[in-house]
Homo-oligomer: A and B are copies of this chain.
Amino acid sequence: MSRISFDNRLMFTYESKSFPGVNKVANLVREDIRKVTGFYADEYTRGCRCKNLIIYGTIGRSDYLRELEGNGLIDLEEVRGKWEVYSFTVLDSPMDGVDHALVIAGSDKRGTIYGLFHLSELLGVSPLVNWNHVIPRKKKNVFLTDASDIVTREPSVRYRGFFINDEWPAFGNWATEHFGGVNAKCYERIFELLLRLKGNYLWPAMWRSNFSMDGPGLESARLADEYGVVMSTSHHEPCMRSGEEYGLLRGENSLYGDAWDFLKNREGITRFWRDGLLRNRSFENVITLGMRGERDSKILGEEATLKDNIDLLRDVLKTQNDLIRETIDEDPDKVPRQMVLFSEVEEFFYGNEETEGLINDEQLKGVTLILSDNNCGYTRTLPTKETRDHPGGYGMYYHMDMHGGPYSFKWIGSTYLPRVWEEMTTAYEFGVRQIWVTNVGDIGTQELGLSFFLDLAYDIDKWGGTDAAVTQRYVNEWAERQFGGMLPLSARNRAKKILWDYTDLLEKRRHEIMNADVYHPLHFGEAQRILEASECILKESMSLKKRIKEPDMSAFISLLYYPACGTANLMKMWILAGRNRLFAFQNRIEANDLAMEVDECVRRDAELIEEYEAVDEGYYKGLGKSEHIGFINWNEEDNRLPIRHLVYGAGSPRMLVSRKDDEHYMTGLEWCDRPQTWRDMLRPDVDSVEFDIISGSDKPFSYRIKTGCSWLEFSRTEGNVAKRERIALRVNKALLDERVTGTFEVEGIGVGTAHITVEAAPDSAPYGVFIESDGYICMEAEHFKKEMAVPGGDFRILSPYGRSGSAIKVFPVTADFYGKKKLPGVEYRFFAESEDEYDITFDLAPTTPVTFKGGQYLGYSINGSKMKIINTVKNPDEQFFFSRQWREEAVNSVKKVTDTVLCLRGENRLIFYGVSPGIVLERILLVRKGIAIPESYLGPGESYIRLEGETFSGNEEEKNEHES
């Protein structure tokens, strides 16, 4: 077994004919090795004595590789001519005087670079080593053997990268603080980050920056090329000129004229584009084609017809292709080009029935068509079977940061990996394989999502597939890479949970659009669950932080503590604000305590940002600056921090009695007691509820609970209430033979007496069906009773996934059963209390149709009835991306499709069919007509279902263990 040791006798080859960028990266890797082993590798001089040697090079630019291959010591056949491939070979005695060697051979510049960084990773160096100052674990006796030999495959996606966008105030301030601007010094850090994450493609910052002018000059572009970073520009910046450039260069006496108008200033604009192509043609680029109005506007005015627009665009494309022929290559198909079908451009691409779109235009033939997500992480139109083999291939522009509609999210990275996994894997299956680019805003705090996005693009076989649990594995491995050096395993496991939990909160609702109205403060305990999750994140993060040594603080805070605590504290703040408001309206004296707690959260928010920006000698300074609280417009304009509500207690002692999950309360007073009936204990799985005895005054009172029912038990039956006392009521079901009704009283002594009726029943649920209670049945999609696969498709469970933690989806993801006779289905069984109409709601992931025309269908049937097909698109004639439905679903992270069904008294069978691609079912809710269930964001908890062999336990925790 060959073997190389990373000791103080390690050397690196150096060849001047190698790509300069490769040599630069080799030096970065030497530094990485020093961090791990403590030894900085010397440079090897041919012929000298060397114990352990790292030989690296690119085929065709390395004498070492040529010689080793010539000697038969390495085999480069599987590497040669490939795209970004490298091999790793550990050899003994590769050359005279050299005992051991590792040969890193790249098919091309980036192949070699990825190979070099692969070495760092093998040694435990995080790709974020220099970006987040993740300090690797120091190791002794480090070695590699030929067990590490590998020949990589070409990456799954050809161009993989990100877009620095919406970069003020955060990234812009950060760059200015550290580099004096968004210049080449700054970009060098970003190129390294991109390459270490196995990306190769970049859209540079362009809000106030000109990549090819600010390096200074062309320096950033030159450096990108040196590093092998393929530069491109965003969707509306054609011919390698950034969006702001024209504004700087236009003028009355300018060569480029003074109008961003291809009709009126054809000559000037053409010259502008030509000069851009000439300027950047020596570098590796993907050139954007097309044209848009300035600042995200349409190219023509509102009065122009679709045909006007398409004709103009066709003219523009021809002009641009001609310029490419003229300046770069007579065959433009040899020049990587792209056109981005973002927002309104989509319409010009597809055209309509009267007007042919650009879809089959010969100008676009070899051009990569970049599709977009819905601005919030759900892909829009995907290639159809017919268009899938478009010669230029497809790309995807995907938002992990948004400054625009339906809402902006810019503060802390809010990417939930299962969402990216599900959507991008699907896109890949639909043929989107040429370019993947993600908008990561300021980059800072986006590292987890960005890493996954690029890793998925690099190796879809490893991180894609049909099992969503891979995302959890990814988080675990990622956490190991970042925190392996600073925390023991048990603590790292807690860190993994924190990462998962905070992104899970954001899957339900992102920071900027969180507010006091989102979660109902009491109903179904949803706010309490969010609060508890948030508090757990805060507590755990602070606990971990105490174990972090100062040098590791930079990585810990930037990658975990700040994004997790920032998120959790914000969620907590809004939950408390919502509770404060409700409690104030109810005159609960505890509302004032909540106001103080809200205030504490507001201060904590500022402190967390300060902490992030101060750590590591201010290395992240600027990156925490984005507005992020209480957006009411799509952007931060007119945003609102929480309002604190202060109450005065009543003039005399006042009692409120309320279930902990109900906003209605009893007063116990003569004229407005508002007695309640509680029916929870009719549920087979419920034998207790909790309720609160609350003070509506700052004058405390005593209480007494009285009942004549022997089967009612209370955790306390007397005491004092200053603010609030929580009481558990338990029904001893062992004492019940039949359904019973009982009452109890809560007497606030000298205040009033509240009257509660309790209905309860012994446990007598049938097996294997969901049981209605309080007028509704709620079923998690994953808990179907049986599955009906058909040739060409079957449902699989996605878990973890979505707002409620799981979902189902048909695989293969491209399968379309619309109009087919045999459809895959899953069957649910539930028990209804009466023959009646029920409103049925399917909670679906807020995906958008994969087709430009608005059709995305689901099907269902009940009790053997004919299958009913519903278009989940409410207004199919409207472009989905601009619809109200798009906005609402994106904001709430859910698509709700409702209908009315007739249920039988007793057992019912509901079959849900897969019809269109893109349908992801999360849960099903049936509500009996006339019943108004308490309002909430996430909906009620799942209904009870007794599984075969189960006996009554009363333990709600077991509900997640259904077989399905």
Contacts and interface: CB of A to CB of B under 8 A. Distances in A.
A672 B633 contact: yes
Contacts of A648: 602, 641-642
B671 A634 contact: yes
A669 interface: yes
- Give the interface centre of A584, A602, A638, A641 by most chain B CB atoms within 10 Å: A638
Contacts of A602: 648
A643 B641 contact: no
Contacts of A635: 671
A667 interface: yes
Interface in A616-673: 627, 633-635, 637-651, 654, 667, 669-672
Contacts of A642: 648
Contacts of A179: none
Contact of A672 (B638, B640, B643): B638
Contacts of A498: none
A595 interface: yes
B595 A637 contact: no
Contacts of A633: 671-672
A585 interface: yes
Contact of A669 (B627, B637, B640, B650): B637
A353 B642 CA distance: 61
Contact of A667 (B638, B645, B671, B672): B638
Nearest to A650: B639
A587 interface: yes
Given A602-B648, A643-B645, A644-B645, A637 B667 contact: yes
Contact of A651 (B627, B646, B654, B671): B627
Contacts of A651: 627
B641 A671 contact: no
A637 B587 contact: no
A411 to B, nearest CB: 12
Interface string A13-28: 0000000000000000
A937 B476 CA distance: 62
Nearest to A647: B643
Interface in A125-155: none
Given A645-B643, A646-B644, A651-B627, A637 B671 contact: yes
A630 to B, nearest CB: 9
A513 B278 CA distance: 78
Nearest to A606: B651
B638 A647 contact: no
Interface in A563-588: 584-585, 587
Nearest to A637: B669
B595 A643 contact: no
Contacts of A647: 640-641, 643-644
Contacts of A585: 643
B587 A638 contact: yes
Contacts of A640: 587, 647
A822 B654 CA distance: 60
A669 B669 CA distance: 51
A679 to B, nearest CB: 25
Contact of A643 (B639, B646, B670): B646
A915 B920 CA distance: 68
Contacts of A644: 645-647
Interface string A579-609: 0000011010000000100000010000000
Given A646-B646, A651-B627, A638 B669 contact: yes
Contact of A637 (B584, B627, B646, B672): B672
Contacts of A639: 650
A649 to B, nearest CB: 8
Contacts of A670: 637
A585 B517 CA distance: 13
Contacts of A649: 641
A672 B634 CA distance: 10
A663 to B, nearest CB: 14
A637 B650 CA distance: 10
Contacts of A696: 638
A647 B648 CA distance: 18
Nearest to A591: B643
A403 to B, nearest CB: 11
A642 B649 CA distance: 10
Nearest to A671: B637
Contacts of A584: 643
Nearest to A651: B627
Contacts of A667: 637-638
A662 B646 CA distance: 26
Interface string A901-924: 000000000000000000000000
A646 B587 contact: no
A640 B646 CA distance: 12
A321 to B, nearest CB: 36
Nearest to A626: B651
A515 to B, nearest CB: 12
A637 B669 CA distance: 7
Nearest to A752: B637
A615 to B, nearest CB: 21
Contacts of A638: 587, 654, 667, 669, 672, 696
Interface string A212-243: 00000000000000000000000000000000
A698 to B, nearest CB: 11
A686 B551 CA distance: 70
Contacts of A671: 633-635, 637
- Give the interface centre of A595, A646, A654, A669 by most chain B CB atoms within 10 Å: A646
A634 B641 CA distance: 36
A637 B672 CA distance: 7
- Give the interface centre of A640, A649, A669 by most chain B CB atoms within 10 Å: A640
Given A637-B669, A638-B667, A672-B633, A595 B646 contact: yes
A97 to B, nearest CB: 65
A26 to B, nearest CB: 45
- Give the interface centre of A642, A645, A648 by most chain B CB atoms within 10 Å: A648
A649 B667 CA distance: 37
Contacts of A641: 587, 647-650
A65 to B, nearest CB: 56
A633 B674 CA distance: 12
Interface string A538-582: 000000000000000000000000000000000000000000000
Nearest to A633: B672
A626 to B, nearest CB: 10
Nearest to A648: B641
Contacts of A654: 638
Contacts of A637: 667, 669-672
A384 B672 CA distance: 39
Nearest to A665: B638
A639 B627 CA distance: 39
A646 B644 CA distance: 5
Nearest to A670: B637
A83 B696 CA distance: 56
A645 B647 CA distance: 9
Contacts of A645: 643-646
A91 B721 CA distance: 75
A694 to B, nearest CB: 12
A637 to B, nearest CB: 4
Interface string A169-191: 00000000000000000000000
A670 B654 CA distance: 49
Nearest to A635: B671
Nearest to A644: B646
A129 to B, nearest CB: 33
A696 B636 CA distance: 13
11 contacts: A584-B643, A585-B643, A587-B641, A633-B671, A638-B654, A638-B696, A639-B650, A641-B647, A641-B649, A641-B650, A644-B647
Identify the 3 closest CB pairs spanning chains A and B, nearest first: A641-B648, A644-B646, A637-B669
Given A602-B648, A641-B649, 18 more contacts: A587-B638, A595-B646, A634-B671, A637-B670, A637-B671, A637-B672, A638-B654, A638-B696, A639-B650, A641-B647, A641-B650, A642-B648, A643-B646, A644-B645, A644-B646, A644-B647, A645-B645, A645-B646
